[in-house]
Amino acid sequence: MSTTADHEISTHLSFCRFCHASCPIEVDVQEGRAVAIRGVADDPIFAGYTCIKGRQIPEQMTHPSRLLSSLRRRPDGTFEEISSTSAMDEIGAKLRHILDTYGPRAIASYTGTGGYQNSLAVPAARAFHQGFDSPSFYTSVTIDQPAKSTAPFRVGIWEAGYHNFSDAEVLLAIGYNPMVSSFGPVGGLQGTNPYVVLREAKKRGMKLIVIDPRRTEFASQADIHLAPKPGEDPTLMAGILKVVIDEGLFDHEFCDQWVADLPQLADAVSAFTLEYVAKRCDVPADDIVAAARMFASAKKGTSGTGTGPSMAPHSGLTEHLSIALNTICGRVNREGDKLESGYFLYPETPRRAQVHAARLAASGAPSRMRNLRGIRGEMLTTTLAEEILTPGEGQVRALIVSGGNPVVAWPDQELTLKAMKDLELLVVIDHRMSSTAEFAHYVVAPTLSLERADIPHLMDRWFRAPYTNYTDAVTEREGDVLNEWEVFWELAKRMGSTLPFPGGQTPMDVRPTDDQMIDLAYAGSRMPMDEVRANRRKVHPDKTMTVSAADPDCTAKFTVAPDDIVAEMAEIVVEGDGAAALGIDPSLYPFRLVSRRLKHVLNSYGSDLSALGAKGSSNSAYMNPDDMKDHDLVDGDLIEIFSPRASVQGLVESAPDVRRGVISMAHSWGGSSLTDEKVRDIGSPTSRLVSVDKGYDRINGMVVQSAIPVRIAVVEHINR
Ligand SMILES: Nc1nc2c(c(=O)[nH]1)N[C@H]1C(S)=C(S)[C@@H](COP(=O)(O)OP(=O)(O)OC[C@H]3O[C@@H](n4cnc5c(=O)[nH]c(N)nc54)[C@H](O)[C@@H]3O)O[C@H]1N2
Ligand SMILES: Nc1nc2c(c(=O)[nH]1)N[C@H]1C(S)=C(S)[C@@H](COP(=O)(O)OP(=O)(O)OC[C@H]3O[C@@H](n4cnc5c(=O)[nH]c(N)nc54)[C@H](O)[C@@H]3O)O[C@H]1N2
Ligand code: SF4
Ligand SMILES: [Mo]
């Protein structure tokens, strides 16, 4: 914290937590407040990179719409300010009552992206539930890319991981766009200075193949861009695998040693002839062959997915086939290879050049819906609205939303609204009145990033170097606000419960500091937290992990064609079209609505801020100009977009980068009205079009939030 005279500006090192990318920043602080933010030019991996969102943090911290005090709903539906102490007293007493009346499962929490960017919010929520033995811990992971948490366990985990990005000769990117999202799967291009890093990778000869129905900022840099019909990724991947297998381009020696069932995979993809795949995906056959050869003839580099295919029909299958392609091409780190990321913040695990024996996929607590189970210690957000609305043993009665916005983000908006209204207690921790906060009994005002100590807990396994960073709080707290973990600590204390962490029980007598909590939550990490704190923005070449030899007794192998995967591949052939996975006749719903991200917002958040709002306060429905011509549409026209479940209105905007038959639209816009009368000002939420009980993944419950079959009708032509 500043030691200079109050009016003077002092500069502090921190990192941005607007999104997960954790770009290092210099913060100018005056009178305890941030006044300017810059990238850090000499950072070894970011080299000064920031984006427009991060640079708005000073305005975010002091914006008039920021809640500086918690709020309590009055009986008439309006809100009044309440001190954080009274809010915790009242909420704690209500939770204790709900716990005593209905049992631990009745108290749920949901951490969204606003909590995910806080290195203590997720661990604290998890510990809170463990403290009274409640399974009802939910996060946005299970409406994002949950197949990444389940598919690898079924193929088999290679302890040393798949190839690094740094020396990849080829990258196959299925439905992600790091230029805008700063996101890439492990081994893919990350948001750490993505433009420069991609340019350098291409200079050293890396080939890029992008599969995306839109010619995105990333796709336009690709050597091969395949723009399939959305939702046909499993077919396309099966087609690519067939070319690789038929032409013998896989790693024979590796498969002989490590893959149990290559012949079964060859058999399962045999139906996916080039002609069939090209026609069904509407991609030139030559391009499919060229992509397969380009990928498989390289020595290093991986295939990986983003949110596009992870939200489309058969998302688990697409993830599986992407991993299977990496596996049969032997794209794993071998004995003596170096791991690119440092994996410093979590306990060290063995990194041998072998398959790990354990096979856990969905082994969590049983859900009451659709025979599903929790995955990796959390329950499925795709079921939470029904867990709230369905009476009986285990019904959820209280929900704490930690930095999330269910009303516009969860699948099926109408169902979600019903659930929010049905709760006996809804607590929303958010610094603004979000569409979800409108329904809360209490809105708890949180600290914002610069007021907290943090470590880059999400990027740790994505940094393309063994890099560490840490930030302390660099500004003073505005108002009567609590860090997320403090909310859970205060509530646990009042409920007579505990917060167990890897480092032991949290002291419940005196409230600890952020740093003490980081020590507890990240105890046993590969790099001790004191060392992390002493090493900001540092690459540690001396701590690079080197892959060790396989255990000579290791008998575990990859299974690239388990029975249910083979059965699902046969099913997609029978279906003939992605829409049929949802039980929909594709001829009645000829368009596919795909999700995308926008540079100037993070999901539902950002357009309050002046520079971000100036970039647009609504989510256009981007369409190919030829489709618009066919429907007599021009920019600014209003259409109604119908799925079998519901409809949303969309403001049409022409986009030649979107393939025909596709509407590309960002999610989590609009408000809580189901009729979109303010669509021109605030947009509309595509999540309203989503069904939770059609076409869901049988293991992780993921629903279809992209490649949604839709039809359109004109609502209003603007004056022309
Ligand atoms: N149809 C469709 N649906 C989707 C998606 C899609 O592509 N298509 N994407 C899915 C994905 S990937 C995700 S991750 C989810 C997003 O789902 P959510 O995470 O539930 O939604 P967000 O809009 O990111 O909500 C973040 C909230 O955190 C608040 N916030 C920001 N900073 C802070 C902070 O420091 N502290 C606290 N307490 N709050 C803060 C913001 O004001 C905002 O209200 O939506 C999913 N839903
Ligand atoms: N600026 C910004 N950054 C963000 C976010 C944001 O809202 N704004 N959100 C953050 C969040 S929560 C997440 S999870 C990450 C996500 O990061 P990404 O996965 O990179 O998200 P997108 O940029 O939406 O890229 C998804 C791509 O998939 C394509 N796509 C859609 N449907 C299909 C399909 O069926 N098949 C194929 N092959 N492609 C398809 C879309 O056209 C789009 O280009 O981004 C994070 N970063
Ligand atoms: S990319 Fe993400 S972390 Fe980096 S400046 Fe932008 S919002 Fe912040
Ligand atoms: Mo996400």
pLDDT for res 488? 98
Q: Which residues contact 524 (CB under 8 A, 6 or more apart)?
A: 347, 502, 503
Q: Is the CB of 182 under 6 A from ligand 3?
A: yes
In ligand 3, the atom with minimum distance to the C-alpha of 53 is: 7
pLDDT for res 716? 86
Q: Residues lining ligand 4 (ion), CB within 5 A?
A: 144
Q: Is the CB of 430 under 6 A from ligand 1?
A: yes
List, in sequence order, every residue forming a beta bridge with 79; answer none if it has no partner: 73
Q: How confident is the model at residue 159 (pLDDT cuts 50, 70, 90)?
A: very high
Q: How many angstroms does the Cα of residue 112 sit away from the middle of ligand 1?
A: 5
Q: How many angstroms does the Cα of residue 711 sit away from the middle of ligand 1?
A: 27
Exposed (0-12), middle (13-18) or buried (19+): which is 249, by Cβ within 10 Å?
Answer: middle
Residue 227 has pLDDT above 50, yes or no: yes
With a pLDDT cut of 70, the percent of the chain lying above it is 98
Q: How many angstroms does the Cα of residue 141 sit away from the middle of ligand 4?
A: 7
Q: What is the mean pLDDT of residues 10-22?
A: 98
Site to probe by mutation for ligand 3, drawn from 18, 450, 454 as the one with most ligand atoms within 8 Å of Cβ, is 18
Site to probe by mutation for ligand 1, drawn from 143, 182, 648, 708 as the one with most ligand atoms within 8 Å of Cβ, is 143
Q: What is the mean pLDDT of residues 109-113?
A: 98
| Side chain identity at residue 273, one-letter code | T
pTM for the model: 0.97
pLDDT in tens, 477-501: 999 999 999 999 999 999 999 999 9
Q: How many angstroms does the Cα of residue 149 sit away from the middle of ligand 3?
A: 25
Q: Is the CB of 145 under 6 A from ligand 1?
A: no
In ligand 2, the atom with minimum distance to the C-alpha of 664 is: 42
In ligand 2, the atom with minimum distance to the C-alpha of 145 is: 14
Q: Is the CB of 54 under 6 A from ligand 3?
A: yes
pLDDT for res 2? 43
Ligand nearest to the CA of 139: 1
State the Cα–Cα distance between residues 388 and 405, nearest whole angstrom.
16
Q: Distance from CA of residue 339 to its chain's centroid?
A: 23
Identify the structural domains of the chain with CATH numbers, from first to last.
2-62 (2.20.25.90), 70-144+362-446+481-499 (3.40.50.740), 162-332 (3.40.228.10), 579-716 (2.40.40.20)
pLDDT for res 637? 97
Q: Is the CB of 609 under 6 A from ligand 3?
A: no
State the Cα–Cα distance between residues 88 and 590, nearest whole angstrom.
51
pLDDT for res 362? 65
pLDDT in tens, 505-534: 999 999 999 999 999 999 999 999 999 999
pLDDT in tens, 425-474: 999 999 999 999 999 999 999 999 999 999 999 999 999 999 999 999 99
State the Cα–Cα distance between residues 141 and 80, nearest whole angstrom.
33
Q: Which residues contact 12 (CB under 8 A, 6 or more apart)?
A: 2, 26, 27, 29, 474
Q: How many angstroms does the Cα of residue 144 sit away from the middle of ligand 4?
A: 5
Among protein residues, the one whose CA lies closest to atom 46 of ligand 1: 409
Site residues for ligand 2, CB cut-off 6 Å: 19, 113, 144, 174-178, 180-183, 211-214, 216, 230-231, 233, 306-309, 312, 594-599, 601-603, 664, 706-707
Q: Which of 186, 232, 507, 540 is nearest to 331 (CA)?
A: 186
pLDDT for res 60? 96
pLDDT for res 1? 47
In ligand 2, the atom with minimum distance to the C-alpha of 230 is: 35
Q: How many angstroms does the Cα of residue 142 sit away from the middle of ligand 3?
A: 23
Residue 568 has pLDDT above 50, yes or no: yes
Among protein residues, the one whose CA lies closest to atom 31 of ligand 1: 114
List, in sequence order, every residue forming a beta bridge with 509; answer none if it has no partner: none
Q: How many angstroms does the Cα of residue 419 sit away from the middle of ligand 4?
A: 22
In ligand 1, the atom with minimum distance to the C-alpha of 411 is: 3
Whether residue 530 contacts residue 522, with contact meaning beta carbons closer than 8 Å, is answered with no
In ligand 2, the atom with minimum distance to the C-alpha of 707 is: 35
Q: How many angstroms does the Cα of residue 18 sit away from the middle of ligand 3?
A: 6
Q: What is the mean pLDDT of residues 272-287?
A: 98
In ligand 3, the atom with minimum distance to the C-alpha of 182 is: 1
Among protein residues, the one whose CA lies closest to atom 8 of ligand 3: 54
Ligand nearest to the CA of 406: 1
Residue 3 has pLDDT above 90, yes or no: no
State the Cα–Cα distance between residues 98 and 94, nearest whole angstrom.
6
Q: Give first-to-last CA distance, the chain, whole Å.
A: 58
Q: Distance from CA of residue 265 to its chain's centroid?
A: 29
Give the β-pairing of 591-596 and 137-139: unpaired
Q: How many angstroms does the Cα of residue 605 sit away from the middle of ligand 1?
A: 7
pLDDT in tens, 292-348: 999 999 999 999 999 999 999 999 999 999 999 999 999 999 999 999 999 999 999
Among protein residues, the one whose CA lies closest to atom 39 of ligand 1: 403
Q: How many angstroms does the Cα of residue 74 sit away from the middle of ligand 2?
A: 39
Q: How many angstroms does the Cα of residue 694 sit away from the middle of ligand 4?
A: 21
Q: How many angstroms does the Cα of residue 642 sit away from the middle of ligand 2?
A: 22
Q: Is the CB of 705 under 6 A from ligand 1?
A: yes
